[in-house]
């Protein structure tokens, strides 16, 4: 793998390789952002639908309560001619009310489960993206470390030669000073 990077850097230069890596990382980051935005939109849609379901269930509950209230009023005013039918309707309305309440509870649980699933998906996507970026950074770090290891001996040799040349200059100055008597 390192020889591959060395070949690329020898052909294109280190700047081009770093630029290519940066562009690839930027593309991956953009993909992760797009995925996170999509998941955030899904969560927002689910919240909106959950609120709509709550509103619908509340409206249905109010309608059922209103119908039961009217039936009770009709009974109280003496509407005895259809009392069997009214009793049957009242029982059906009570059953409908129980069904609506259980469906409301079930939809709330489903919305919660879906929200948890979406949250976990977002969390997994973010963790995966962070892992990929960390690996890319580690690879770059190793590559730079190897380059530095190659430069270190050159720098040491350059320092030694500059020290030797400084000694040579000092000796030459000493000879000049002792020869001309300054």
| CA atoms lying within 13 Å on the CB side of residue 32 | 18
N-term to C-term CA, the chain: 62
d(CA 15, CA 104): 60
Name the CATH architecture for the domain at 2-150. Answer: Orthogonal Bundle (1.10)
Q: How confident is the model at residue 114 (pLDDT cuts 50, 70, 90)?
A: confident
Burial of residue 80 (CB within 10 Å: 0-12, 13-18, 19+) is exposed
List the structure tokens of 40. 């955030």
pLDDT computed for residue 7 by the predictor: 60
Q: How far apart are CA 109 and CA 146, in angstroms?
A: 55
Q: What is the DSSP letter of 81?
A: T
pTM listed for this prediction: 0.39
Instruction: Give the residue ranges of DSSP H helices in 13-82.
Output: 14-76
Instruction: Return the domain boundaries, the chain.
Output: 2-150
Res. 25 pLDDT band, cuts 50 70 90: confident
In the predicted structure, residue 4 carries a pLDDT above the cut 80: no
Average pLDDT, the chain: 80
Closest CA to 110 of 49, 41, 62: 49
| CB-based contact 111:53 (threshold 8 Å) | yes
- Answer yes or no: is pLDDT of 86 > 80: no
Residue in the block written with tokens 């997994």: 124
The tokens for 82 are 């259809």
CB 8 within 8 A of CB 17: yes
| Tens-digit pLDDT profile for residues 126-147 | 888 889 888 988 888 888 888 8
Q: What is the mean pLDDT of residues 37-50?
A: 81
142-169 pLDDT tens trace:
888 888 787 888 888 889 999 999 999 9
Reply yes or no on whether the pLDDT at 9 is more than 60: no
């Amino acid at each position: 793998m390192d020889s591959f990077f060395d070949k690329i850097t020898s052909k294109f230069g280190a700047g081009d390789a770093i630029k290519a890596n940066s562009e690839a990382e930027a593309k991956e980051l953009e993909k992760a952002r797009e995925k996170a935005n999509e998941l955030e939109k899904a969560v927002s849609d689910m919240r909106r639908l959950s609120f709509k379901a709550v509103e619908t269930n509340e409206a249905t509950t109010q309608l059922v309560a209103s119908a039961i209230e009217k039936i009770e009023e009709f009974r109280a005013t003496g509407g005895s001619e259809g009392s069997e039918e009214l009793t049957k309707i009242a029982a059906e309305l009570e059953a409908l009310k129980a069904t609506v309440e259980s469906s409301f509870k079930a939809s709330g649980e489903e919305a919660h489960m879906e929200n948890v699933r979406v949250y976990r998906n977002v969390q997994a996507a973010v963790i995966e993206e962070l892992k990929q970026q960390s690996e890319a950074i580690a690879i770059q770090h190793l590559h730079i470390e190897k380059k530095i290891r190659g430069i270190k001996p050159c720098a040491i040799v350059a320092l030694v030669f500059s020290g030797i040349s400084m000694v040579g200059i000092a000796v030459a100055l000493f000879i000049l000073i002792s020869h001309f008597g300054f």
